[in-house]
Amino acid sequence: MEKNILTSPRTGDSCIHVKHKSGLDIYICEMPGFSSVEALFGTKYGSINTMFKMNEDKEYTVVPEGIAHFLEHKLFENEDCDVFELYAKTGASGNAYTSFDKTCYLFSCSKNYQESLKILLDFVQKPYFTKASVDKEQGIIGQEIKMTNDNPEWRVFFNMLRCMYHNHPVKIDIAGTVESIAEIDADLLYKCYYTFYNLNNMVLSIAGNINADEVLAICDEYLRPCEDKGLETVFPDEPSEIVKSEIYETQPVGTPIFHIGYKCSDCCGQERLKKSMAASIASSMLSDASSDMYQRLLNDGIINSSFGTEVFCGDGYFSVIFSGESESPEKVRDAVADEVDRMVSEGICEKDFQRIRKSTYGLLVRELNNVESVANLMINSHMDGVGPFDALDFLSQMTSSDVLDFIKNELCRDRLVMSVVKGEAQ
């Protein structure tokens, strides 16, 4: 069992990384003085992983959209009882989520973390699927899909992705469609489980009021060794061009809501982390509450305080998104594009760059004093192929030229899309 201590040279914060004999990567952060514990047991398996194969396979397996999310739902039921009943006895709060590129099972507690950790490791390694339970879940998730289809915030986001991406499965709802989940059966769930829930494809992350030796002793007891079968996932070829520049949909909303996004070139690992940091600063310089564009649009009544931005990236996709409410979303889009052109032509203000860079750095440092944030940082970093403290290093070394290069190379008018959901009378 390999045990390494990872330390940030800038803050002195550290965590333990263990490559367990079972194949599992384990991250532990002891945080003396904190009363709570956060643990996540996750697999690098999300809604975009619909095509895969193992070393022994000659052909790729293609599975229905939404199966990762379906599997997450079903894993909480075992042969004897519901997992939430077990957590209730230890006082822990359990949950799970499926995103585009990962599925995580988690709990938070302030006592009895050892017993809760045993529950977490045990049930995630014990799949139990039957035809009856799968049929029942299809109805439940089918209703969930119909509800999200009526959610304006959900619709405006996925409509934007469909404007950007021709082939990449990121444009598909995480839960799939009513039609796609109808193709799921118990055999298919077991196949996906034993493919992606191999411990060599998984991570345990735990932080807070814990003892590392206790955590590892529980892992030694509960983890079942897995052979690394060489999982390989692939995605369809995706052109750099967008599908179309705009889309409108009618939903019952009081004020139109919008997502304006730039489709950027994808990358992975440390390159993606560096690029996402540059993108974050660039988007903040464009839309920060103190920026000229934000103040102008706010004073003119074109945007309100809901206006914000995010960097959305993962395996095979990368975009910068501006969102909010506006009676004139076209004016917001044009203002963003014009401000990008101005920065390309005139450059960016060094003073504004340094202010936002330092503010972002401070936010990352503060998150190292939050148990939940630390646990999520460790698991997300591993799945992204970077170290938990790499973002601090990249950010401290970043220059305004790095940000300007990102703006010039990635924020292109011909890769700008707009998605709007408006009311019937608007």
Task: Grade residue 426 by pLDDT with cuts at 50, 70 and 90.
Answer: low
Task: Grade residue 80 by pLDDT with cuts at 50, 70 and 90.
Answer: low
State the pTM of this model. 0.94
- Let me know whether 292 and 214 are in one domain: no
What's the rounded mean pLDDT across residues 334-348?
97
Query: What is the spatial distance between Cα 210 and Cα 196, in angstroms, rounded to a whole number?
Result: 28
Whether 221 maps to a domain, the answer reads yes
Query: Quick check: 364 pLDDT over 90?
Result: yes
- Let me know whether 228 and 322 are in one domain: no
Paired tokens of 301: 């009544």
The string of pLDDT tens digits covering residues 54-64 is: 998 999 999 99
- Compute CA distances 280 → 112, 255, 395, whole Å: 39, 27, 11
What's the rounded mean pLDDT across residues 218-236?
94
Looking at 208, 233, 258, the residue that finishes a domain is 233
Q: Which of 142-146, 156-160, 242-246, 382-386 has the lowest mean pLDDT?
A: 142-146
Whether 371 maps to a domain, the answer reads yes
- Let me know whether 206 and 250 are in one domain: no
| pLDDT averaged over every residue in the chain | 95
Q: Output the pLDDT for position 63.
A: 95
- Using an 8 Å Cβ cutoff, are 336 and 413 in contact? no
Check which CATH number belongs to the domain holding 77 and give it.
3.30.830.10
Active site residue 72: yes
Query: Quick check: 8 pLDDT over 80?
Result: yes
Query: Quick check: 355 pLDDT over 80?
Result: yes
Domain containing residue 359: 246-422
Whether 323 maps to a domain, the answer reads yes
Query: Quick check: 425 pLDDT over 80?
Result: no
What's the rounded mean pLDDT across residues 279-303?
95
- Let me know whether 90 and 190 are in one domain: yes
- Let me know whether 299 and 345 are in one domain: yes
Q: Output the pLDDT for position 356.
A: 96
- Let me know whether 20 and 166 are in one domain: yes
- Let me know whether 96 and 150 are in one domain: yes
What is the three-state SS of the chain? CEEEEEECCCCCCEEEEEECCCCCEEEEEECCCCCCEEEEEEECCCCCCCEEECCCCCCCEECCCCHHHHHHHHHCECCCCEHHHHHHHHCCEEEEEECCCCEEEEEEECCCHHHHHHHHHHHHCCCCCCHHHHHHHHHHHHHHHHHHHCCHHHHHHHHHHHHHCCCCHHHCCCCCCHHHHCCCCHHHHHHHHHHHCCHHHEEEEEEECCCHHHHHHHHHHHCCCCCCCCCEECCCCCCCCCCCCEEEEECCCCCCEEEEEEECCCCCHHHHHHHHHHHHHHHHHHHCCCCHHHHHHHHCCCCCCCCEEEEEEECCEEEEEEEEECCCHHHHHHHHHHHHHHHHHHCCCHHHHHHHHHHHHHHHHHHCCCHHHHHHHHHHHHHCCCCCCHHHHHHHHCCHHHHHHHHHHHCCHHHEEEEEEECCCC
Query: Quick check: 186 pLDDT over 80?
Result: yes
Looking at 191, 207, 233, the residue that finishes a domain is 233
Q: Output the pLDDT for position 222.
A: 97
Residue 186: Cβ within 10 Å count: 17
Looking at 202, 233, 264, the residue that finishes a domain is 233
Q: Output the pLDDT for position 102.
A: 97
**Cβ partners under 8 Å of residue 222, min gap 6:** 118, 121, 122, 125
Whether 32 maps to a domain, the answer reads yes
- Let me know whether 223 and 319 are in one domain: no
Catalytic residue from among 38, 65, 72, 339: 72
Query: Quick check: 79 pLDDT over 70?
Result: no
Higher pLDDT pick, 150 / 278: 278
Tell me what percent of the residues of the chain surpass a pLDDT of 70: 99
Total domains present in the chain: 2
Burial of 76 (0-12, 13-18, 19+ CB in 10 A): middle
Whether 238 maps to a domain, the answer reads no
- Let me know whether 209 and 60 are in one domain: yes
The string of pLDDT tens digits covering residues 367-420 is: 999 999 999 999 999 999 999 999 999 999 999 999 999 999 999 999 999 999
Whether 240 maps to a domain, the answer reads no
- Let me know whether 219 and 260 are in one domain: no
Q: Output the pLDDT for position 244.
A: 98
Whether 359 maps to a domain, the answer reads yes
- Let me know whether 263 and 147 are in one domain: no
- Let me know whether 220 and 276 are in one domain: no
What's the rounded mean pLDDT across residues 196-206?
97
